[in-house]
Amino acid sequence: MALPAGQKRLALRLLNLEAEYTVLTAINPATRTYEEDARIKELDFLCLAHGLPSEVKNNVLEYYIPGLEPVDIADPTNHTRPTWCTDDEAEFLYWRHTRFIFRTDDLTRTNLDNKINAAQTFIQNILRSTTHSARLFYMQPKKKVIFEIYLKIDLSVGGAAEIDDENLEALWRLLELLNGEMGHLQLKFIWKNDANLNDVSAATKREVAANNSGPFVAIEQNLLTIVLAAARHYTTCMHAPATINSIKRWA
């Protein structure tokens, strides 16, 4: 199964692999090395994978291309299309297929407001804009933003896991920016070894019950139930009529 030339070229652009593919395929097949042939086949496979349904595609591409990590909406530099995304069709597909995240592993009381302000700009101008070229506002199911809730524990001394106040505050404020639409959020719970407060590397964290499997599924489900119930209550209060005073509204 092969992609039409135009679709393959577009996929290569979106994956930022066009230059590498052009160089490799320009080499005389008779003189190409085994490694070069293998890399061409791998790039062909990645182009095919790009046309798969989004959930399958994201898993395949994330495995093969570590650079395709979710885009942090709290970073203003991510609010414009990449320089390699050179035409309108490529930009449309970039926003449609790129995963979004509100990064919380580096969240502090000091940077919380700046992150929320940047996320607000992204949500207004891209995610929920009715005029943005990618038309994400009209996608069904809704385009999601990954939000990670960190269960922090210092494994060097033991003790119970804790969730920072800033982590939960960011969730409520982000939910407010989304007009209470939980369908835009993909919640993940992450074990975080907090022995070194400044270490946010992948080695210090692990998803709780990734893919709904493993020994911590019950913990994940209980946490999700609690957070979703709180989020629904928050949304109900947020949308209460203006005639209700603030004490009753948030009771």
109-139 pLDDT, tens digit each: 999 999 999 999 999 999 999 999 889 998 8
| pLDDT band at residue 32 using 50, 70 and 90 as cut-offs | very high
Share of the chain above pLDDT 90, in %: 33
Angle CA 60–127–98, to nearest 5: 15
The angle at the Cα of 118, spanning 17 to 195, to the nearest 5 degrees, equals: 80
Which pLDDT score is estimated for 58? 67
Task: Give pLDDT, residue 115.
Answer: 97
**Structural domains counted in the chain:** 2
* Domain match, 101 and 133 both: yes
Name the pLDDT band for 83 (thresholds 50, 70, 90): confident
- The answer on 83 and 58 residing in a single domain is no
The radius of gyration of the chain from alpha carbons, rounded to an integer in Å, stands at 21
Res 6: pLDDT = 74
| Separation CA 149–CA 190 (nearest Å) | 6
Its domain, for residue 2, covers 1-67
On the question of pLDDT at 146 being above 90, the answer is yes
Residue 225: predicted pLDDT: 87
Does residue 206 surpass a pLDDT of 80? yes
Query: What is the largest distance, in Å, between two alpha-carbon atoms of the chain?
Result: 79
Residue 234 lies in a domain: no
Would you say residue 74 has pLDDT above 80?
Answer: yes
The whole-number pLDDT of residue 84 equals 76
Three-state DSSP class for residue 224 = helix
Handedness of CA 43, 48, 54, 59 (dihedral sign): negative
Same-domain check for residues 154 and 121: yes
Residues 112 and 195 in one domain: yes
Are 80 and 168 found together in one domain? yes
Last residue of a domain, one of 47, 67, 87: 67
